[in-house]
Amino acid sequence: MKWTMALCLAILSLLVLDGPAPAKVVGQTVEYRQNGTLLKGYLAYDDAVKGRRPGVLVVHEFWGLNDFARQRADKLAEMGYTALAVDMYGEGKVTRDRAEATKLAGHVRSTPLMRERAQAGLKVLRKHNLVDPQRLAAIGFCFGGTTVLELAYSGADVKGVVSFHGGLTAPKPEDRKRLKAKILILHGAEDPHVKAEEIKAFQEAMRQAGADWQMIYYGGAVHSFANPEAGRDKSSGVAYDPKAAARSWQHMQLSLQEIFQNKMGLDG
Amino acid sequence: MKWTMALCLAILSLLVLDGPAPAKVVGQTVEYRQNGTLLKGYLAYDDAVKGRRPGVLVVHEFWGLNDFARQRADKLAEMGYTALAVDMYGEGKVTRDRAEATKLAGHVRSTPLMRERAQAGLKVLRKHNLVDPQRLAAIGFCFGGTTVLELAYSGADVKGVVSFHGGLTAPKPEDRKRLKAKILILHGAEDPHVKAEEIKAFQEAMRQAGADWQMIYYGGAVHSFANPEAGRDKSSGVAYDPKAAARSWQHMQLSLQEIFQNKMGLDG
């Protein structure tokens, strides 16, 4: 009788207790180089998940690789992805000064550095032993949103890119042939930093490129809607919008599920 | 020993076998009246789900209440909702003739019938014993998309409305005060039946109304993208787009989950 009971209890405990192991996100600084410049990224993955999994690049706002970007990487890791928040400025430079941020972002945006540093990060992610090199994507916020578009325009081997309140640069004619990533634009409908002409030119270029693109307008949302650090003053044109933040994060998850053909996120 | 084994097996079988009962969608014609006109709707629900649940109104394309609308109701029922596909034309009138459809839709659209018949359907849904009257929404396709907007503008007590490739009428000034439903517009970015000026006026009115609105543009999609019956000739301006159809259906599910605060759909 005892062994029967013991066996049953063992089976019961397996059935009842053996759900997925609790997520244990590991985050670590990763150093790599782009053309001699030391870049300090942040890599996150769930230690309870085994083996290679889709990899997602995270590109920070114009403030640099700060906690907000790291937290996005952690959240992606909780869903089961391996995420790398890249460093676009070198040496992990971060600022809270708007003028300095504008200068740093402007320099990277106006030179080949924007594509090169995003590609350098992608290379690190692709080679990681917890990443399936066939299944890569990139997400970015504001400046980072522009960056992931440029990464896609460079013909990088990512299945998709997702821009949260990013600048909408249009691909150049030579970019259009290279572009193969699916594009998802998550846009604050009242964002004063993205002009109507830019939207029009972007959409027109998507058409000409025959791109797979989607663009979601969040009513009432302005620039930086996904970032709680952006404050609540919409009249400034830059503000957190919890509703748009939650919706856009879910829309991103759906898109990642689609391009990777998995069920990660949404239930987590 | 035997009773121990029996008990364990009983518990095991409960744990292993007692998942959710398989969906068994029941569909039935429902007759109701609007100002003397007999309307023949189609109600669908999952017989395996018990008790009251959120109710979703489905409004057909300008062809009338055909199989496509019925199938949408069935799919919503599979997710666990009670769905009512309404009859906007009376006597369940359906056509395959474009000229006749245009005439039928034009008559309803240009008179108070559009709001009144949608409201009549909503009343039937609200009173059904398998519907939680506090949790109602409406979805519609093409003509039906316009209809659910008008329903929202009438101040109807729906938590949200979702328009698939619908016409984008803007709310009148007096509608703006009444509007309380969340609005989700699922739009083919190449839809020639929705003019840029209409989009602009709609979005501007949403702003003025302080509405909770979202609008999703599906690149490459034209009118009727969600309907497999629409053919594949995009140059005609009306065509099925399987990718936009799948994405829009998922975006609708996310939105219903949000407004009803449940987890129905997406996993089903």
Task: Please list every residue in chain B whose beta carbon sits closer than 8 Å to the beta carbon of residue A219.
Answer: 183, 203, 206-207, 211-215
Best to test chain B binding among A161, A191, A214, A247 (most B CBs inside 10 Å): A214
pLDDT at residue number B266: 78
Q: How far apart are CA B227 and CA B154, in angstroms?
A: 27
Q: Is A214 on the interface with B (CB under 8 A)?
A: yes
Q: Is B73 on the interface with A (CB under 8 A)?
A: no
B212–A250: do the CB atoms touch at under 8 Å? no
Size of interface A-B (CB pairs under 8 A): 95
Shortest distance between the Cα of B183 and any Cα of chain A, in A, equals: 9
Q: What angle do CA A147, B184, B122 make, to 5 degrees?
A: 165
Q: Is A17 on the interface with B (CB under 8 A)?
A: no
A216–B220: do the CB atoms touch at under 8 Å? no
pLDDT at residue number A3: 56
Q: How far apart are CA B238 and CA B248, in angstroms?
A: 16
Whole-structure pTM value = 0.92
Shortest distance between the Cα of B176 and any Cα of chain A, in A, equals: 15
Q: In the numeric block, which tokens belong to residue B103?
A: 């005439």
Q: Is the pLDDT of residue A165 over 90?
A: yes
Q: Is the pLDDT of residue A133 over 90?
A: yes
Shortest distance between the Cα of B175 and any Cα of chain A, in A, equals: 18
B216–A213: do the CB atoms touch at under 8 Å? no
Q: Is the pLDDT of residue B251 over 90?
A: yes
Give the tens place of pLDDT for each residue, B188-225: 999 999 999 999 999 999 999 999 999 999 999 999 99
A251–B251: do the CB atoms touch at under 8 Å? yes
Q: Is B214 on the interface with A (CB under 8 A)?
A: yes
B214–A219: do the CB atoms touch at under 8 Å? yes
pLDDT at residue number B11: 54
Give the tens place of pLDDT for each residue, B173-191: 999 999 999 999 999 999 9
Q: Is the pLDDT of residue B16 over 70?
A: no
Shortest distance between the Cα of B216 and any Cα of chain A, in A, equals: 4
Side chain identity at residue A241, one-letter code: D
| Neighbouring residues of B14: CB distance < 8 A, sequence distance ≥ 6 | none
B251–A247: do the CB atoms touch at under 8 Å? no
How many CB atoms neighbour CB A28 within 10 A? 9
ipTM of the complex: 0.91
How many CB atoms neighbour CB B248 within 10 A? 25
Side chain identity at residue A50, one-letter code: K
Q: Is the pLDDT of residue B106 over 60?
A: yes
Asked if A51 contacts A130 with a C-beta cutoff of 8 angstroms, the reply is yes
Task: Please list every residue in chain A whose beta carbon sits closer than 8 Å to the beta carbon of residue B210.
Answer: 220
* Nearest residue in chain A measured CA to CA from B255: A247
Q: In the numeric block, which tokens belong to residue A13?
A: 């405990």
Structural domains of chain B in order of their starting residue, each with its CATH number: 23-260 (3.40.50.1820)
Q: Give the residue among B136, B199, B213 at the shortest CA–CA distance from B167.
A: B199
pLDDT at residue number A11: 53
The end-to-end CA distance of chain B, in Å, is: 41
Q: Is the pLDDT of residue B261 over 60?
A: yes
pLDDT at residue number B1: 46
Crossing angle for the helix pair B143-153 and B113-127, to the nearest 10 degrees: 80
* Nearest residue in chain B measured CA to CA from A246: B258
* Nearest residue in chain A measured CA to CA from B263: A267
Q: Are strands B53-59 and B82-85 parallel, antiparallel or unpaired?
A: parallel
Q: In the numeric block, which tokens belong to residue A235?
A: 């009249």
B11–A16: do the CB atoms touch at under 8 Å? no
Mean pLDDT of A235-241: 97
Shortest distance between the Cα of A210 and any Cα of chain B, in A, equals: 8
Average pLDDT, chain B: 93
Give the tens place of pLDDT for each residue, A40-91: 999 999 999 999 999 999 999 999 999 999 999 999 999 999 999 999 999 9
Q: Is B208 on the interface with A (CB under 8 A)?
A: no
Coil/strand/helix, residue A57: strand
Q: Is the pLDDT of residue A92 over 70?
A: yes
